Structure 1
Amino acid sequence: MSLSLCNTRPTILTRGARVTRAARRLTPPSAVASDPSSKNASASPYVKPPVELKKVTFAEAMGFAGAGPEKINGRLAMVAFVAAFGAEVSTHETVSQQFGDATVPVIGTAMLFAAASLIPIMKGAIDEPMGPFNSKAELVNGRLAMLGLSLMLYIENQSGKAFF
């Protein structure tokens, strides 16, 4: 059975009944999708089908063409640059002095961020953009943070004092 709306009056049509063109045009897609006798009874034009996630091995994720190294290094560089900037402004110590003062927390934070970045990649998570927050912007910001951190380390090494 399917439901057809003609002249705002619902009409129930049986399987063998003839349906006019006007009735077909006025039949809402939800009524056709809810018909258990139709082939696509579970498919609805308004609901996306579930996406099957492709699991990735550690070697594939961290390989040369994998998504892991670029994302992890970019995220670690962003965290390191912001943390180094904040610590330099407050303590006036170089990045190498900061690392010497708090080696274990820095390495622990790096391991935590690396694991938090790698696990969704290995589970096959899909990067869905949310406004300005998308994977392309993250890669650009990560690369800029890598350059900024490298430049800060180079300048501090040459001058022997904190950059900020």
Structure 2
Amino acid sequence: MAVSTMLSRASCLGTIAGVPSLKVSKLKNANAAFLGGLRVKTPGLNQERRNLVVFAKQTDDTPLPGTKREPEKKDDPLRIFEGSPVEKFYRPEEERRPEDGNTSTSSLMKFDGPAPETINSRLAMLGITWALVAEILTGQSVWEQVTEGRGLIWFLFVAPIIIGATLIPMYNKESPDSRESGPFNAQNERWNGRAAMIGLVALLVTENIYLKGPLLGFIHNSLNL
């Protein structure tokens, strides 16, 4: 405070004595810089309170370590779709992600939304696994399981459960890409789901066109089940 008073008096005396205004302004700037340095070196109570508030918010919003991954903020420009038919159906990436965009059912279930591929992948993984097990147990192809057996009934029972279990976390703004730990992380689920969808279609085509019967029927016959 004393230093500030001295510099102020010096500036006033300089003005009265005819010191050029440039030198007076330099003294004022030096005074401001000196006081600013003092404030930076000795933060006040308000600054400490702001730091505590910021730290508390970060603590509340931080997930358990190793369980969730923050979504990447990417530039998603429209120019790559300019002049193409896709442009009028295109939505920015932040609108397609449930953690940032619209979490209504219509938004999640759009063609470019997060729900359709995730639901189809999970149903395909469960479907192809059970289809191959049922072929060994019953000796029926996938098509026969649906049309003659109880495959369709089981599908109608299980599908709503899978759909609901997929959509509920998305309504709570949790992206299927946010899971990071464990064997069922986002990348593994995506690749396994796509492989299962392709595999299920290939199994249907192979059994109905080429084999004219179940792929694993020989195992059923050898075990005499």
Alignment TM-score > 0.5, same fold: yes
2:124 is the counterpart of 1:73: no
Structure 1 residue corresponding to 2:184, chosen from 130, 133, 136: 133
The one-letter amino acid of 2:61's match is P
Partner of 1:110: 159
Partner of 1:152: 203
Shift of 1:37: 5.7
The one-letter amino acid of 1:163's match is L
Once the two structures are superposed, what CA deviation does each residue of 1:112-131 show, in whole Å capped at 9, x if it has no partner?
11121122122211422114
The one-letter amino acid of 1:70's match is E
The one-letter amino acid of 2:165's match is A
Determine the C-alpha separation between the residues in 2 that align with 1:105 and 1:49.
42
Q: How many residues align?
A: 134
The one-letter amino acid of 2:135's match is E
Change (3 A) 1:57 1:148: same
Structure 2 residue corresponding to 1:40, chosen from 17, 26, 51: 51
Determine the C-alpha separation between the residues in 2 that align with 1:128 and 1:95.
32
Partner of 1:32: none
Please report the TM-score for the alignment, with normalisation by the length of structure 2.
0.52
Determine the C-alpha separation between the residues in 2 that align with 1:132 and 1:108.
27
Partner of 2:136: 89
Shift of 1:144: 0.2
Determine the C-alpha separation between the residues in 2 that align with 1:112 and 1:39.
46
Aligned alpha-carbon RMSD (Å): 2.9
Match of 1:48, SS? Answer: helix
Give 5+ residue unaligned stretches, structure 1.
1-17, 22-34
Please report the TM-score for the alignment, with normalisation by the length of structure 1.
0.69
Higher strand proportion: 1
- Identity percentage over the alignment? 29
Determine the C-alpha separation between the residues in 2 that align with 1:125 and 1:148.
28
Give 5+ residue unaligned stretches, structure 2.
1-37, 63-98, 217-225
Partner of 1:59: 106
